[in-house]
Structure 1
Amino acid sequence: MYYLVAVLPDRIQAEAAYSALEKEGLPMNQVAILGRGYKSADEYGLIDPNEEARKQAKFMSYWLVPFGFFGGFIFNVISGLDTFPWAGALGNHLIGGLLGAIAGGMGSVLAGGGVGLIVGGGDALPYRNRLNAGKYLVVVNGAETLTLSATKILRPFNPENLQGYADTKSQVY
């Protein structure tokens, strides 16, 4: 599946571009306008990077927190630290494990959430920002030949940005 995204400054140009695509015979179920009065970014499925970061952090915590507990527990056993004399040997090992689990949770937020914020959204965030600024997106999705045809049709409208993407998760046959 391929995507072509054209950023147009106003509704009139977006509708003119949509009409030009329709006039050339492109399947209109594969063309969408995003912006005020049309589909929103969420309705179309543009990824919210913050939501993606939360999901990634939660996923990472499933293995980092237990790993941190185990690591903290074993470290305390091996090193023989007696940080809290009132807790006894087993209590110190469990506190070490608890501190390791906390460190694992912090690592999942930093690695999962931080990386998700930086790379999780890809170009979705700039497109969301343009929609928030009152601009319009014309999106064409389908086979590569369809997006190439749409590129030729949309170029005369002088879009602010005309970008093609290949979705590697799905195949078109």
Structure 2
Amino acid sequence: MNNNYLVAVLSDRIQAESAYTLLEKQGLPLSKITILGRGYKSADEFGLIDPNEIAQKQAKLMAIWLIPFGFIAGVGFSLATSLQTFAWAGEIGNHVVGGFLGAIGGAMGSVFIGGGGGIAFGSGDSLPYRNRINAGKYLIVVEGSQLLIQQATTILRKFDPENIQSYIDMYQ
């Protein structure tokens, strides 16, 4: 079953607490409402994904196959071209050095592509929300049915939030 979420960004604590109180008075279940910000839940406690964590995991996963592939590609290139770049290493040594250079290239690819891609594309909206919390803003998050999200949207719009966005979590 899909979970629906509504995230509203409010400028200060007083506004966030007023919105929470009004949601409560209108009969929305408090177990479905969360305030994120200073003095309340943090982004990590709520489960907003840290893009740096994603980048590290993605870089490690890519390294598992890119480093051996780079080694094999380096050896293959050395065999195909028969270059004697390192005369001191001999014929077999040149192939091994070529393999190590290919493995280094694979490691660099996993860091720059895997890690950089995780930071650039893996965060979704969590990074802007984290930045807003760090800037002293507060988030009201409502989780529930589509009807509950619609009710909460109507109520929260009265507080003129900086941003209000609904989401469907299809991975739950």
TM class by shorter-chain length?
Answer: over 0.9
> What TM-score do you get using the length of structure 1 for normalisation?
0.94
Q: Which residue number corresponds to residue 134 of structure 2?
A: 132
What residue identity is the alignment partner of 2:34?
A
SS of the residue aligned with 1:81? coil
Which of residues 85, 88, 107 in structure 2 aligns to 1:105? 107
Distance in 2, Cα, partners of 1:70 & 1:144: 53
Q: Which residue number corresponds to residue 67 of structure 1?
A: 69
SS of the residue aligned with 1:157? coil
Which of residues 74, 77, 80 in structure 2 aligns to 1:78? 80
Q: Which residue number corresponds to residue 162 of structure 1?
A: 164
> What TM-score do you get using the length of structure 2 for normalisation?
0.94
What residue identity is the alignment partner of 1:56?
Q
Distance in 1, Cα, partners of 2:107 & 2:142: 41
Aligned pairs (5 A) from 1:20-39: 20-39=22-41
Aligned pairs (5 A) from 1:135-150: 135-150=137-152
Percent sequence identity is 63
Q: Deviations over 1:41-89 (max 9, x none)?
A: 1111111111111111111111111111111111111111111111111
Distance in 2, Cα, partners of 1:111 & 1:144: 38
1:93 paired to 2:120: no
The count of residues paired between Structure 1 and Structure 2 equals 170
Q: CA deviation at 1:142?
A: 2.3
Distance in 1, Cα, partners of 2:22 & 2:101: 62
Q: CA deviation at 1:161?
A: 0.6
1:43 paired to 2:45: yes
Q: Which residue number corresponds to residue 153 of structure 2?
A: 151
Q: Which residue number corresponds to residue 115 of structure 1?
A: 117
Q: CA deviation at 1:147?
A: 1.5
Distance in 2, Cα, partners of 1:133 & 1:91: 56
Distance in 2, Cα, partners of 1:89 & 1:17: 74
Unmatched 5+ residue regions in structure 1?
none
